[in-house]
Structure 1
Amino acid sequence: MSRVEQVTSAAGSVPASPSITSRQRLTLLLLLSASFTLAVDFSILNVALPRIGSAVGFSLENLQWIATAFALCAAGFTLLFGRVADLFGRRRLFLVGMALLGIGSLAGGLATDPALLLSARVAQGLATAAVTPAALSLLTTSFPEGALRDKVLGLNGALMAAGFTTGAILGGVLTDVLSWRWAFFINVPVAAIVLVLAPTVLAESRPEQRPKLDLPGAITVTLSLLAIVFGLTTAGEQGWADPLAWGPLAAGVVLLVVFWAIEKRVSAPLVPTSILKRRSIGWGNFAGLLAFITETSLVFLLTLYLQKVLGYTPLGAGLSFAVLGAGTVIGGIVAPKIIGKLGNKKTVITGFLVQAAATLPLVLLGSSRASIALLLVATFVGGVANLIAIVGFMVTATSGLPDAEQGMATGLATMSQQVGITMGIPIMSAIATARVHALGGETPATVLSGVTTAIYVNTALCLVAAVLIALFLRPAKQVA
């Protein structure tokens, strides 16, 4: 029996594997706890936004900035911080990020005016941009490339996806039972515990010779990502015709071109162009981008359906996605076993094809509450498939690279994740809204038609991703 078969035939829980040490168990527990907490932060405030706005003094038109301030920083700085982790120490950046998360969360929970609340959300976004690639690179450098790392990445993906769902549910429960402020306060003890344990559990990881930080490249790519994310979030709120949507998007694309030109000329580039030309990196991250675009936007579409067509409350809609969350956990557990049998490329393709097959039946959703059965079954299967694709992407995009470049690789992977989450909702929102307007305005029937139209597009994106990955992805060889 091969080493891959020996590891992938073990039970679904990583700690049960005989090849993992006690220190690795503690490392895994600590890093997964941090990743799960950050994933929860993405969605925990969504259902509480109206109450937060009333309590703190946000006008309705400015309410989206509570989410936008977080998304801008989380996506805009992730590539920079991924490289900073390589250069100055992954554990050090991880600890700084967790401290910033605790401070920002405490400030958010105590906020009584918009300025302090937005500052807290900026701090949480910067913490996410720092901790996520640092934690992921600590995972990939703590576990050797191969089946064991695949299993660890599977658990990480499962818990992060489950965190998005948990955040929606937990946000509703905390807001209804206690206060929206607890959606912030809940992070403080987690951050404190991690900060106490991490220095003794996590080993520092950084190159012996520290190259210069590529400041021109860092500034250019950060400004580019900030512009792109701002344009996408504005498009989701105001529509694609708004100059504040397409203007920043155009500027972001121009800055990306400038960034590419800089990276080809500097001696110590932030992201070497040779890395970006590798098909395992380029197409692996493309797969991750599409995986997050399709699933997060589908959750948005189904939230519209549940609330505006079936009349569910925000908490009821959040609870309806518990089945999806269970599917993502299962997908993260089984994905490494599938990778062991099929390889990275076929795993990603299989994930997208099954996700498309699970998404397409959702066009049959109707105005009767009996449709909830179809929604639950389809989202469960789709959740399993989506996580299989995500774990396949993560393994592909971080394999075949030395430890010294893992922060950069995980920064790229995290950037694909953050931008995908940000892109999906405005794209599908624009499609659904255009259909609603074409039918004469918002009614339950027109919303259902708009959601159905966007679901067709969502399914098509899954199929396109599968075809392109089949044609162009060449995964790097894994270490034996």
Structure 2
Amino acid sequence: MTRRQRLVIVLLLGANFMLSADFSILNVALPEVGRAVGLKVSDFPWVATSFALPAAGLSLLFGRLGDLYGLRRMFLIGLALLAASSLLGGIASGAVVLLAARALQGVATAMTGPAALALLITTFTDERQRARALGLNGALLSGGFTFGALVGGMLVGVLSWRWAFLINVPTALIILVVTPAVIHAAHVRGDVRLDVPGAISGTLGLVVVVFGFTEQSAAALAAGAMLLGLFLWIERHTPAPLVAIEMLAWPSVRWGNVAVLTIFSMEAGLIYLVTIYLQEVLHLGPFATGLVFGVPGLASVVAGIVAGRVVARRGARPVLLAALLVQGGFTAPLILLGSQPNSMWLLIPALFVGFFGHITAVVAATVAATSEVPEASKGFASGLMTTSQRVASTIGIPALAAAMAIRADLLRGIHLALAVDVLITVTAVVLIAVGLKPSRLPTTK
């Protein structure tokens, strides 16, 4: 690689690493942030979902806008918005301002993430260099969770929850200043068409569905389902869809995306439930919570290294099914968690093995969702999978939080939500095993 290419990697991967770390930093700080601005425990999910909703609903639209107006320009605008919204969140004194800051962070992520990935791909024309850069990107995304949990717990425990926001400001500003000197302005395409109705209906549908889960409103859930149905109709009939819905006609793509939805929604919900358990039931501080999450975070890094080799030897389908069973199977023992600190002897090993299964399932589902697809359509298949991942991360927390709220007792509510997590995961394994035929997914080379 040239010196400029190395600098490009540092800048773009640094930005993605920061976005990945943001999730676990704020996850550890979630109860303290919620209490500081006057939110009830039942409203804590909004701190996460107000970020995830725009990040999920707008990423495809901003990806298209990047093609239309310039990837580097979109990347820089996203970084500037991330710095400003993080500063706003760091000085927020009320729930409305804090949630607005989180939503703006989500918009910034929708701008920055797709542009960073596209710039990374276009920087390297050599396939081996590109694969190496993308491999580093994947490893840092896994490592970002561990870093965020550990540093987030330290910042919140030693300083204040506000630093979970403020740490983004200098990092984003440094990348913002250096980027124009290192990354060339990409070619602007004039033939890009925007699917604004699809973006509006899809984002509104997600917002209303999440609101329905959080507030346990059947009417909101029905309205959200109608809006998402409208979104699917628009995507099927518009000449320039945000999501290539027709890709779901391929069984491997269809069931690979079902797996992605299950993997990320249930794991995001599990992380939320464990955070509530550690801080609201065991009354651990943010620093101790960060250390607890650092253990499964290490398992994620190890799994990210070995999972590709296992899939290459065994094939995507058996590895996906086994890894999903591990993810759900090691969530099941957590239903026995008690109100005493000795429950940590059960929690930490279960999280470690469960996270190993989670990352392995992610790798296998990625292979499944993009296999059997012609080379010219792999970009569409990857975009559909990315959309499923973001949507899953959006709905997982409010769905399991709604199950938790059914029980008046907090610990029993957590037990019920964990049981729902296991049931959904096992059901998905059965459906995928039936729908994804063994002959469809040969081992990768």
TM-score, length-scaled by structure 2 = 0.82
Q: 1:85-124 alignment to 2 at 5 Å? A: 85-111=66-92, 116-124=97-105
For these two proteins, the number of residue pairs brought into alignment is 441
Instruction: Write the distance in 2 (CA, Å) between the matches of 1:188 and 1:410.
Output: 31
Q: 2:158 aligns with which of 170, 177, 180?
A: 177
Q: CA deviation at 1:101?
A: 1.0
Query: Is contact 2:157–2:286 with CA below 8 Å preserved after alignment?
Result: no
Partner of 1:222: 203
Alignment check: 8 A CA contact 1:37 1:163 kept = yes
Question: 1:324: Cα distance to partner?
Answer: 0.9
CA contact (8 A) 1:81 1:411 kept: no
> Deviation digits for residues 407-439 of structure 1, max 9, x if unmatched?
x655533332232223223333333443x44xx
Q: Report deviation, 1:387.
A: 0.7
Q: 2:365 aligns with which of 381, 386, 393?
A: 393
**Deviations 1:432-475 (CA, angstroms, capped at 9, x unpaired):** 443x44xxx45xxxx2x444443343233333333333333477
- Cα deviation, residue 186, structure 1: 1.0
CA–CA distance in 2 between the matches of 1:351 and 1:202?
39
Q: Which residue of 2 aligns with 1:262?
A: 234
Question: Is the CA contact (8 Å cut-off) linking 2:316 and 2:443 kept in structure 1?
Answer: no
Matched, 1:302 2:296: no
Q: How far apart in 2 are the matches of 1:155 and 1:385?
A: 21
CA contact (8 A) 2:300 2:356 kept: yes
1:464 to 417, 427, 432: 427
CA-atom RMSD in angstroms: 3.7
Residue 200 (structure 1) shift: 5.3
Rounded to whole Å, the distance in 2 between the matches of 1:110 and 1:451 is 32
Q: 1:218 to 1:368 in 2, by over 3 A?
A: closer
Q: Is the 2:244–2:381 contact (alpha carbons within 8 Å) kept by the matching residues of 1?
A: no
Matched, 1:39 2:20: yes
Q: Assess if the C-alpha contact under 8 Å between 1:86 and 1:405 holds in 2.
A: no
Q: Where do 5+ consecutive residues of structure 1 fail to align?
A: 1-19
1:381 and 2:381 are equivalent in the alignment? no
Amino acid aligned to 1:261: W
CA-CA distance at 1:281 after TM superposition: 3.4
Residues 260-339 of structure 1: matches in 2 within 5 Å? 260-339=232-311
Secondary structure in 2 matching 1:179: coil
Q: Which runs of 5+ in 2 are unaligned?
A: none
- Report if aligned partners of 2:316, 2:365 keep a CA contact under 8 Å in 1: yes
Q: Which piece of structure 1 moves more, 213-222 or 425-434?
A: 425-434
Superimposed CA distance per residue, residues 281-333 of structure 1 (whole angstroms, 9 cap, x where no aligned partner): 33322211111122222223333433454443343233211111111111112
Partners of 2:128 and 2:156 lie apart in 1 by: 41
- Give the match for residue 211 of structure 1: 192
1:162 offset after TM fit, Å?
A: 4.3
Letter in 2 for 1:80: L
Q: 1:84 aligns with which of 43, 48, 65?
A: 65
- Residue 102 of structure 1 and its aligned partner are, at CA, apart by 1.7
Counterpart Cα distance in 2 of 1:308 and 1:122: 25
Q: Matched residues in 2 for 1:426 and 1:188: separation?
A: 28
- Alignment partner of 1:125 out of 90, 106, 109: 106
Amino acid at match of 2:423: A
> What percent of counterpart residues are identical?
46
Amino acid at match of 1:471: V
Tell me the amino acid that sits aligned with residue 393 of structure 2. I
Which stretch of structure 1 is more off in the superposition, 57-66 or 302-311? 57-66
